[in-house]
Amino acid sequence: MNVTEMPTPQFNQLLSAAPDEVQKRIFPYLEETQLQLGAVVYESGAVPRYVYFPTDCIVSLLYVMEDGDSAEISVVGNEGVVGISVFMGGESTPSQAIVQSAGHAYRLQSERLKEAFNYDADMRLLMLRYTQALITQMAQTAVCNRHHSIDQQLCRWILLSLDRLPTNQLSMTQELISNMLGVRREGVTHAAGKLQDEGAIEYRRGHITVLDRPKLERLSCECYAVVKTETDRLSPQPASG
Amino acid sequence: MNVTEMPTPQFNQLLSAAPDEVQKRIFPYLEETQLQLGAVVYESGAVPRYVYFPTDCIVSLLYVMEDGDSAEISVVGNEGVVGISVFMGGESTPSQAIVQSAGHAYRLQSERLKEAFNYDADMRLLMLRYTQALITQMAQTAVCNRHHSIDQQLCRWILLSLDRLPTNQLSMTQELISNMLGVRREGVTHAAGKLQDEGAIEYRRGHITVLDRPKLERLSCECYAVVKTETDRLSPQPASG
DNA sequence: CGGTTTCTGTGCGATACCATACTTAGCCGG
DNA sequence: CCGGCTAAGTATGGTATCGCACAGAAACCG
């Protein structure tokens, strides 16, 4: 896939799996957008005017605390949508959505998704099953934060990101990763150094290349597998046509 | 409230706020149940046959890891329902639900809730808004696990429990609390000792009495307030009639 | 090509929490 | 009232992570 070209809406799994009738209704209103690294998709407490369906970008849901410390709650790629609070009925959420890996997404006016959600039972099921996968991810993040080492969490984080990208390379500084994991930058340096020594990854100034994915999976805690399995289970079957 | 008597369904806020028509449909099928401390309401990965609407008990959603370590993901009292995966469409979840404070709940066959959910848009909104509050709680748990001390987390945990009980006393051993928080029992002993020295709580063998709630709120991290505010915001207005 | 910025590596002390082992104390049943 | 059990307190040492300070190195930019 040439990342400078806008992929079609089918690259987002939710849009792709949406019922035909819903596709007819909302596809005309989808707007192609390019999301820059670090862009804030929505702010904490704000009512999002648009929801975003990523195709080749990654958006992180982040909670930023009063003292500026932060922690990633979950991550959204082309398997999902940013802005579930729109159809969950709460409008806003206390978290923030920021672009973790630049790329493209389709945006849609919140109201249009809400309509489709209320109008079509299949669409609703699709969105709710995705939401449940997201819930699993948040729950597992809580567990992981409690019990696992930075090393393990870094593995989990890289793998989750990798699953949402077409390449085996992440463009991320250790500083940014540390913000996501909610740890010090030095901690990430240390963990990444170990992974490099082990030959699992290679990195240089803002770029991580995964060399040995199986090794990364072995070094990760069980949290990655749990999230992955549950996300797959709850994902729509790839459209046969 | 006499805890040996079964409260009416109205003691659960979701049942109480359910649309009249839904109440007519499902109330006849509600079954009073008594939940013992430690009872497993549903197992990880199982498809729950019943959902539970607590009235004066507390149920914790817990994740238990391969090595036996555990962590509480969120907590459900009379403001909510245990078994959201039933209407979210995923059927099962990787977490476990266990009774953290004994008491009563109404149970309902999962299918009946699912029907009501699909049948009635207001009911759906009610359940989804509650689910969003639950999501906030999980997200905040993740953040809290990452950044806050055991002392702060204990305060948060006591306050969240207190909000779901009619008294200012919790019947909990430090051992159980440590399982919930995912820390060692000694850590809880230490933190609880400090809170007692400060005059915020008093405890003896399995019973914690809150003496100075405002102090507890001050000693807690911001996480409690965030969850409380968001839960209140998303809660149904108390039925006027 | 040289200067500047940004990213990464390292060292050091502080600390919160863990693991283990053991002791003390409260509660309950006989 | 006395044993026994379980809950809670304490001691010691180890380790992961933090906080801070700074040094080296790669990319970038005129």
Establish whether the CB of B186 is closer than 7 Å to any nucleic acid atom in strand D: yes
- Give me the pLDDT at residue A6, please: 66
B138 and A142 within 8 Å at the Cβ level: the answer is yes
Q: How confident is the model at residue A237 (pLDDT cuts 50, 70, 90)?
A: confident
Q: Which residue of B has its CA nearest to A65?
A: B222
Q: What would the pLDDT profile of A156-190 be if each residue is shown by its tens digit? A: 999 999 999 999 999 999 999 999 999 999 999 99
B136 and A93 within 8 Å at the Cβ level: the answer is yes
Residue A2 has pLDDT above 90, yes or no: no
CA dist A153 and A156 (Å) reads: 5
Q: How confident is the model at residue A241 (pLDDT cuts 50, 70, 90)?
A: very low
Give the A:B interface size as CB pairs under 8 Å.
Answer: 121
* Maximum Cα interatomic distance, chain A, rounded to a whole number of Å: 54
Over residues B113-138, the mean pLDDT reads: 97
A89 and B118 within 8 Å at the Cβ level: the answer is no
- Give me the pLDDT at residue B240, please: 47
Nucleotides of D under 7 A from a protein CB: 6-11, 16-21, 26-27
Residue B77 has pLDDT above 50, yes or no: yes
Q: What would the pLDDT profile of A189-234 be if each residue is shown by its tens digit? A: 999 999 999 999 999 999 999 999 999 999 999 999 999 999 999 9
- Give me the pLDDT at residue B6, please: 66
B145 and A145 within 8 Å at the Cβ level: the answer is yes
Residue A1 has pLDDT above 80, yes or no: no
Pick the residue with more confidence: B3 or A175?
A: A175
Distance of residue A1 Cα from the nearest chain B Cα, in angstroms: 32
Q: How confident is the model at residue B10 (pLDDT cuts 50, 70, 90)?
A: confident
Q: How confident is the model at residue A5 (pLDDT cuts 50, 70, 90)?
A: low
List, as ranges, residues 181-200 from B with C-beta within 8 Å of A: 182-183
Q: E strands along chain B, which residues?
A: 31-35, 40-42, 50-54, 58-64, 70-76, 96-101, 103-109, 169-171, 201-204, 207-210
CA dist A31 and A52 (Å) reads: 9
Distance of residue A191 Cα from the nearest chain B Cα, in angstroms: 17
Q: How confident is the model at residue A8 (pLDDT cuts 50, 70, 90)?
A: confident
B71 touches A: beta carbon within 8 Å: yes
- Give me the pLDDT at residue B237, please: 77
Establish whether the CB of A175 is closer than 7 Å to any nucleic acid atom in strand C: yes
Q: How confident is the model at residue B5 (pLDDT cuts 50, 70, 90)?
A: low
DSSP structure class, residue B55: S
Interface residue of B44, B63, B181 to substitute, partner A, most A CBs within 10 Å: B63
Task: Give the CA distances from residue A152 to residues A184, B48, B171, in Å, rounded to whole numbers and listed in that order.
Answer: 15, 32, 36
Sort out which chain A residues have CB atoms less than 8 A from B125's CB and list them.
89
- Give me the pLDDT at residue A238, please: 61
Q: What would the pLDDT profile of B211-240 be if each residue is shown by its tens digit? A: 999 999 999 999 999 999 999 999 997 644
Interface residue of B65, B126, B129, B183 to substitute, partner A, most A CBs within 10 Å: B65
Q: Are B45 and B53 in contact (CB under 8 A)?
A: no
CA dist B131 and B129 (Å) reads: 5
Establish whether the CB of B189 is closer than 7 Å to any nucleic acid atom in strand D: yes
Residue B187 has pLDDT above 80, yes or no: yes
B64 touches A: beta carbon within 8 Å: no
Residue B45: count other Cβ atoms within 10 Å of its Cβ: 12
- Give me the pLDDT at residue B2, please: 43
Identity of the residue in B65, B74, B121 whose CB atom sits nearest the CB atom of A147: B65
- What A194-203 contacts at long range (C-beta under 8 Å, 24+ apart), as own/partner pairs, is A194/A151, A195/A151, A195/A154, A195/A155, A195/A219, A200/A155, A201/A158
Place of tokens 């939940």: B35
- Give me the pLDDT at residue A240, please: 47
Establish whether the CB of B186 is closer than 7 Å to any nucleic acid atom in strand C: yes
Establish whether the CB of B181 is closer than 7 Å to any nucleic acid atom in strand C: no
Q: How confident is the model at residue B65 (pLDDT cuts 50, 70, 90)?
A: very high
Q: What would the pLDDT profile of A77-123 be if each residue is shown by its tens digit? A: 999 999 999 999 999 999 999 999 999 999 999 999 999 999 999 99
Q: Which residue of B has its CA nearest to A138?
A: B139
- Give me the pLDDT at residue B72, please: 97
CA dist B95 and B80 (Å) reads: 17
